[in-house]
Amino acid sequence: MRTRIATALAVLLLLLAGCSAGGRTGGGPITLRFQSLAWQQESVAATKELVEEWNAAHPDVRVEYVQGSWDGVHDQLLTSFEGGEAPDVIHDASDDLADFAYGGYLADLTDLLPARLRSGIPESSWETATFGDGIYGVPFLQEPRVLIADAGRLRAARVRVPTPDHPWSWAEFRQVAKRLSGPGRYGVAWPLKEPVSATLNLSLSAGGRLFHRGADGRVTVRFGAGDAVVARTIHDQVAVDRSAPASTLGSGGSDTLPGFFGGRYAMVPLGFSYRQQIVQQAPKDFRWTVLPAPAGADGLVQGVSPQTLSVSADCPHKKEAAAFIDFLLRPKNMVRLALGDWMLPTGTQALKDPALHTGKYGWATGTALAARLRPAPAQSVRGYPEWKDKVATPAYQEYYSGAIGLDALRSRLEKDGNLVLARYQR
Amino acid sequence: MTATRPRRSVRLPRSGRPAPRQRSTPRKRLAPGRPPAPRRRTRRAARAGQYAALLGYLLFLGFPLLWLLSTALKSPRELGSLHPAWIPRDPTPANVRQAFAEQPLAHAALNSLLVALGTAVVAVLIATPMAYVMARHRTRLARAATGWVVVSQAFPFVLVIIPLFLVLKNLRLIDSLLGLTLVYVVWALPFALWMLVGHVRAVPVELEEAAAVDGAGRLRTLVSVTAPLLGPGIAATALFAFVTAWNEFFFALVLLKSPGRQTLPVVLTHFIGAEGVADLGPLAAAAFLATLPSVAVFGILQRRITGGLLAGAVKS
């Protein structure tokens, strides 16, 4: 019996040791590790195909595909950077890059990227990945927030259907939501599990900026009239008009879809990529449409944090890594990635692809918004994650649920918020 | 030493604890034959109530697993229904097929199994003698060690992860299941130790004294007398270590780099996108399958565990 136990232990140890890391091969082709966060079936397939195509065409620079996870990506990357074991090519989002860029973990791509790629992506997109004087990521996929609406309810209520050329104003949107409401039914459902980024990004349409950078480069929070438009609309829809339920304020976008399909909500503001889930889950006879988010004084402008590709500062083959990124983001390839993720490409050439201008699934509406997308307001603000978690999220949640008023919201965002930001700007 | 059986007349049940004392007050004598009808009815009603309560409790405990199974068998359209049903209208294995097609679940499960088994075995091997020493030698050092064990549970992951990463890197144990197993052992050890100390204290010291009278040394006493009586405690501790390692996500995410070495919890997150959007059907199917080994191990060890969980609870 003891012999058997000892044998089993030895086998287990051997198996564990057998699965240990092997050494790097020397003198062979260069190997780049590419950590991709693509997760939907189509986007994973598209990414893997592109990696295979690269490997077939570049036998001397092999790319190893590693599937990462959006869940915990920041901590995983931070630890890998600190330990000097980060992937060579890193997929992330621009709002996660600031600390890595300022911390010196990412390579400055300014001189590594070819002119074709630099000129093929608009300056407003490059701004999302520019920190200080350097470019630390290539923005390649983005998604505006749109209104997914029940086409039958809109028709029945005889409301004007907005288009990117003639969008609703925020006031008009509020009126429409009221008209679409009835007993047990709501005109709109706001899934605001992440209330800060949603509010801040949409507030750009009304001229809201919230973060103001002074001449000395220091950022302070100032809650102006433009910042109040979207926040007040949501608050009033929930607490005054009752055209939006309070129950969805803590929900994620997916949680609102059953209510949307079941007729409880006529409209749901969601990210553009949610269409994939809607196509999968909507009942066969359910007719839905994609509408632009309401416009404010600044039109349809809204903030986005594009997905990015970066190169680790420790990568010994930065030129090759940049060449791989350039290959991955050629216009045709960018379209493949965008279609796989149900998002919009940032590249101007890619945006002209006919597949992105079809009326089916609202592609054309989203593509029409691409020119109005700007860097999310908090993009390069150091201390933003702490300000968001400790100050802004609870403050907005309390305001939307009616627990505090606009003055209290302003006071907390500014007074408490500036104390937090000051610690990062000493 | 020729015999390990204790000579003293301490009656031991299978759990290794002394038999409970008999009630000193005799029960009221009942008349022979069947109890009267009203009492029978009351008893039956009480029994039915007990079973109903038990069933309700079982449903409460099993709800997440049943819901996971129900979700795993639903089509995407049914998942989007406003009124979700317990029993899928058109059960489909498509989610299971998709989960296996998209992710290397079987390979990840094998990795998880290796790591979890390794953790359970090594944690028990280390914790048992340590617990014995801490329980039997009540010195200041032992008390300080017990306190340190409790305090060490308070350290959050994020506090230790970067130093731990650097240590493992120096040992060339990054991206290694062996390295991950060592981390899990260290992580599980304090609580495992704490659990086992209670179990060791529940073993009557007289048994060890009897073994000593027979000439057994400390190690022999531990191996031949104490350890067999610790069966339930060891089983409970092994299960705790196994489940801890099986479910752990963050260390595995950070310490493993190669796709072929990823464990199941890491692979499960590949069904989740940005802002928590998830491919719910395949995720539920994969998550349901991921819970089965834990349930199986629990099923195998549960008899020993029920005794083990109570064994350390009171001082005999």
Model confidence over A71-85: pLDDT tens digits?
889 889 998 998 888
Residues A85 and A167 in one domain: no
Lookup: tokens for A67: 């599937």
Q: What is the CATH number of the domain that holds A181?
A: 3.40.190.10
CA–CA dist A116, B25 (Å, integer): 95
Contacts of B74 in chain A (CB under 8 A): none
The model's pTM: 0.81
Which residue of A19, A21, A271 is in closest CB contact with B111? A19
Cβ contacts of residue A183 below 8 Å, gap of 6+?
none
Contact A16 B175 (CB under 8 A): no
Whether B301 maps to a domain, the answer reads: yes
Q: With beta carbons less than 8 A apart as the criterion, state whether B165 and A79 touch.
A: yes
- Which amino acid is located at B189 in the chain? L
Residue B161 and residue B150: Cα distance in Å, rounded? 19
Which residues form the domain of A402? 145-304+378-424
Higher pLDDT, A360 or B311: A360
Together in a domain, A154 and A198:
yes
What is the count of structural domains for chain A? 2
> Is the Cβ–Cβ distance between A308 and A94 less than 8 Å?
yes
Query: What is the secondary structure of A400-413 as a DSSP string?
Result: HTTSS-HHHHHHII
Tell me the percentage of chain B whose pLDDT exceeds 90.
33
- Domain match, A206 and A85 both: no
Give the DSSP H or E segment for B109: helix B105-136
The C-alpha angle A124, A349, A355, rounded to 5 degrees, equals 115
pLDDT at B226: 84
Q: How close B200 comes to chain A (CA, Å)?
A: 22
pLDDT the model gives residue A15: 54
What's the CATH code of the domain at B301? 1.10.3720.10
Is the pLDDT score of B7 beyond 60? no
The answer to whether residue A7 sits within a structural domain is: no
Mutate to test the interface with B, among A2, A64, A67 (most CBs of B within 10 A): A67
Report, as ranges of residue numbers, the positions in chain A whose pLDDT lies below 70: 1-27
How many A/B residue pairs have CB atoms within 8 Å? 142
B266 is in which domain, residue-wise?
Answer: 97-311
Contacts of residue A26, defined as CB under 8 A and 6 or more positions apart, other chains included, come to none
Distance from CA of B171 to the nearest CA of A (A): 11
Same domain, B149 and B282: yes
Q: Are A297 and A317 found together in one domain?
A: no
Q: Please check whether residues B71 and B105 belong to one and the same domain.
A: no
Q: Which of B121, B261, B275 sits opposite A252 (nearest CB)?
A: B275
CA distance from start to end of chain A: 66
CB count, 10 Å around CB of B184? 25
The whole-number average pLDDT for the span B206-216 is 87
3-class secondary-structure state, position A252: coil
Residue of higher predicted confidence among B30 and B189: B189
**pLDDT at residue number B1:** 38
Neighbours of B93 (CB within 10 A): 10
Neighbours of A164 (CB within 10 A): 19
The C-alpha atoms of residue B305 and residue B243 are separated, in whole angstroms, by 14
**A264: which chain B residues are within 8 Å (Cβ-Cβ)?**
82
Residue B12 has pLDDT above 50, yes or no: no
Give A213's strand partners: A219
Please determine, for the modelled complex, whether the ipTM score is greater than 0.90: no
pLDDT of B133 strictly over 80:
yes
- Quick one: A40 and A92 in the same domain? yes
The stretch B212-234 carries a mean pLDDT of: 85
Under the phi-then-psi rule, with left for phi > 0, alpha for psi from -120 to 50, and beta for the rest, what region is B211? alpha
Alpha-carbon A289 to chain mean position: 21
What does the DSSP assignment read for A269-323?
EEEGGGHHHHHHHS-TT--EEEEEPPBBTTBT-EEE--EEEEEBTT-S-HHHHHH
Q: Say if the Cβ atoms of B258 and A254 lie within 8 Å.
A: no
Chain B residue numbers with beta carbons less than 8 Å from the beta carbon of A194 are: 275
Looking at the structure, do residues B131 and B151 belong to the same domain, yes or no? yes
Q: Is residue A354 part of a domain?
A: no
User: Domain check: are B81 and B102 in the same one?
Assistant: no
Mean of the per-residue pLDDT values of chain B: 82
- Shared-domain flag, residues B154 and B287: yes
Cα gap A51→A59, rounded to integer Å: 12
Amino acid (1-letter code) at residue A4: R
In a domain, A23, yes or no: no
Task: Look at B162 and A17 and tell me if their CB atoms are within 8 Å.
Answer: no
Nearest-Cα distance to chain B for A215, in Å, is 34
Where a domain ends, among A329, A345, A361? Answer: A345
List phi, psi (to 5°) of A147. -100, 120
Three-state secondary-structure class, residue B38: helix
Q: Examine the domain organization and report whether B130 and B271 are in the same domain.
A: yes
CA B3 to chain centre: 34
Q: Between chains, do B278 and A16 touch, taking CB under 8 Å as contact?
A: no
Clarify whether residues B169 and B250 are in a common domain: yes
Same domain, yes or no: A294 and A316: no
CA–CA gap between residue B236 and residue B234 (Å, rounded): 5
